[in-house]
Structure 1
């Protein structure tokens, strides 16, 4: 007996394109983006998997929670650790992105950061997939060409078009923990600002987790401004990530 035909809905197309642009996302965020219950989310993703569009993989990166075994996605006897991640297969990603993305698999070392960036995107632009509105890091990596044959010194987490002034595009940076090492955070901020200038962006919007990191970045911004001979950096804004997510109903 042949497998039943899978009917693809417009919502499937939008979600799969959004996921492809973000590399991949945890399954719970898909449910939040689609506005459906957990059981509906799992059924939808299971349908995608049966249709050969996505891979589903559990990634343990120390995220605190009580993980429940999934009958659809966990093998027999598997003890679940970490969230289930959903990402498009190579061919599906190619179709949505317009270029061959190669093979990609989520890593524990970057999962928390990719999750936060995707949550922020959902909070700021919803499920909009127009790259003129939100240009994901995956697209930037493909289309922002280095100058003079040199590698890009800094790649932003995304670019975001200002709703209040569509002529302005801002670079997005998401920071979850303080970078260790003498001057590392200052060098990172300087590189982000310099890259924004090179690409004629309005500036950089930082979204940070925790008051301690916020204070550290505020202090570095003051020092960096003084180094550049100005009172303050007019092309830099620092925002609280979790407050932004909560205000937009994502957290």
Structure 2
């Protein structure tokens, strides 16, 4: 007699870990998914199709001649116990997502036990603090600039703010962000950027000793500029 759940796709621990990683980053292009799972792009496409069949993820080509982008659906968030609001990709965010993913993949490859806190998680925590203040009848803290991620090499290590800069915000705005991260949030900062933008960031940092002591500037990994 056939089982009542025949044909049902059951989640593995690997599914849960990978879908959480993708949800934290908003989305992932299929070639980066292949890198994340340490397999071929063909294997990544099979995995995407499995998740789509289960209703956990969506994946499709959004830009002609580009690879499919994969993101977690509302059902995937619910089934995996991931407490984020559903998200749909926009063309404007795809390249930034790819660049931030490249940085996270590179950091985790160099330090497999490192801890990444995503911008999506930071936004959620900021909203929770604002909501808690309102529930107590207090003035909620103002929303402020959040890094693209926080990176810690160990649980007891001081986190470093990670900024991925693909479009220059101008000297004044960039300086304000740097000062906020260094002086208000008391963080060291790692900027990952393009060869075009890098000289602008270096000029700002070198002009102020208080920034130069806390900010380092790197290239975005693997040609994701």
Q: TM-score range by the shorter chain?
A: 0.7 to 0.9
Task: Flag the 1:129–1:167 CA change in 2: closer, same or farther, 3 A.
Answer: closer
Residues 59, 81 of structure 1: 8 Å contact kept: no
Task: Flag the 1:5–1:98 CA change in 2: closer, same or farther, 3 A.
Answer: closer
- The residue number in structure 2 matching 1:204 is 189
Say whether residues 1:105 and 2:88 are aligned partners: yes
Query: Which secondary structure does the structure 2 equivalent of 1:237 belong to?
Result: strand
Given candidates 136, 142, 147, the residue that maps to 1:151 is 142
Say whether residues 1:133 and 2:133 are aligned partners: no
Root mean square deviation of aligned Cα: 3.1
Return the structure number with greater helix share: 2
Query: Which secondary structure does the structure 2 equivalent of 1:13 belong to?
Result: helix
- The residue number in structure 2 matching 1:214 is 198
Q: Distance in 2 between matches of 1:49 and 1:129?
A: 28
- The residue number in structure 1 matching 2:136 is none
After TM superposition, give the deviation of residue 54 of structure 1 in Å.
0.4
Q: Distance in 2 between matches of 1:158 and 1:169?
A: 10
- Give the alignment of 1:15-164 within 5 angstroms: 15-60=18-63, 80-94=64-78, 96=80, 98-99=82-83, 101-126=84-109, 133-144=115-126, 145=129, 149-162=140-153
Q: Distance in 2 between matches of 1:59 and 1:96?
A: 25
Residues 119, 147 of structure 2: 8 Å contact kept: yes
Task: Flag the 1:237–1:13 CA change in 2: closer, same or farther, 3 A.
Answer: same
Task: Give the TM-score, by structure 1 length.
Answer: 0.73
Residues 160, 169 of structure 1: 8 Å contact kept: yes
Residues 181, 189 of structure 2: 8 Å contact kept: no
Task: Flag the 1:231–1:55 CA change in 2: closer, same or farther, 3 A.
Answer: closer
Q: Distance in 1 between matches of 2:215 and 2:81?
A: 30
Task: Give the TM-score, by structure 2 length.
Answer: 0.81
Q: Distance in 2 between matches of 1:25 and 1:187?
A: 29
Residues 206, 236 of structure 1: 8 Å contact kept: yes
The answer for unaligned runs of 5 or more in structure 1 is: 61-79
Task: Flag the 1:213–1:162 CA change in 2: closer, same or farther, 3 A.
Answer: same
- Deviation digits for residues 176-216 of structure 1, max 9, x if unmatched? 2323xxxx244224324313433333x11101111x31111
Task: Flag the 1:232–1:18 CA change in 2: closer, same or farther, 3 A.
Answer: closer
Q: Report how many residues are paired.
A: 213
Q: Distance in 2 between matches of 1:41 and 1:51?
A: 15
After TM superposition, give the deviation of residue 96 of structure 1 in Å.
4.7
After TM superposition, give the deviation of residue 87 of structure 1 in Å.
0.6
